[in-house]
Structure 1
Amino acid sequence: MKIVRNKPRLLGRESTWGRLLLCTATFTMVFCLGAKILGTRYGIYADGRIYKCMPYTLFILDKWHRKGEVGDYFAFRAKDAAIFKNGAVLAKQFVAGFNDTVEITADEAIKVNDKTVRRGLNLASLMNRDREDFMGKAVIEKGDYYALGSTSDSFDSRYWGTVNENQIIGQLYPVF
């Protein structure tokens, strides 16, 4: 009886087992390296809370894009944010930046450069403070951003102040 040994096929052509093993090892290394590179730049941010302060639940996090831009969503680390521990990861929309004027009026309008962007101070009582304590006008300093959620009961810059650029983890791109 004659033993028939099948030769492997690589890209439709007859090959050797050594060449097939080399191609498989090369593909595996390239795939793992690509996944590692993507993993250092991108991540997933999911808001699993019952009471959401933003219109999205799932985001792609770009850790290489750490330059804040007004209108975009960003993830950052909490610093002196009262109910959040320092270092907790938060996500909000940056609505004002350097030289913008932010004002909270008596009718609880949050205005950026005289344009109303949000309303409400629903969480003032949670901090055992009067709503009037948060009212006033300020100009945003260089390197700082005013960050808001999209609801009136979002715990954000109207209660704990601005986010400094050194707190930024990266830009968030909404998925859904």
Structure 2
Amino acid sequence: MGYVKLLFFMLYTFLCQLAFSSSLCPKDQALSLLQFKHMFTINPDASYDCEFSHPKTRSWNKSTDCCSWNGVHCDKTTGQVIELDLRCSELQGKFHSNSSLFNLFNLKRLDLSYNNFSGSLISPKFGEFSSLTHLDLTVTSFSGQIPSEISYLSKLHDLRISNVYPLVGYLNHLAI
């Protein structure tokens, strides 16, 4: 009987190691996140309004599963990236409409607040995140008009948008 318990324990240990060593995050999504990371510089002044800022993307690297990266949350079953929380991440630079971020089709929550996207326009491609329930672009230095494509986000429960200079146009808990 002790032999059976030992064999069961060894099998259980092997299966646990296999489960935890395998990558959940699809390679194309990890690559999209890494490309997104490299579009920006880390600058503490980019998140000056934050009480506690932290460059979350600094820990991102291809040697670890992207589901374990700071600010990245994945579906436990599929491994798809479903949430990206980059609030107060000290990101600075232009946010281009061809950003690899738009390859993350399964996003449900996206928080880019308190980063400096240097007067970039809010891309109409945000409207292609059909599963998005929360979008926070507060204090991001985006400029221009809110694109009408945002209205395509039929599952959106929470939309937060504001400008740093001047602080206008704050939309909080807007149901679309």
TM-score, shorter chain, exceeding 0.5: no
Structure with the largest fraction of strand: 1
Q: Which has the higher helix share?
A: 2
Larger radius of gyration: 1
**More RCO (CA 8 Å, sep 6+):** 1
> What TM-score, normalized by structure 1, do the two folds share?
0.30
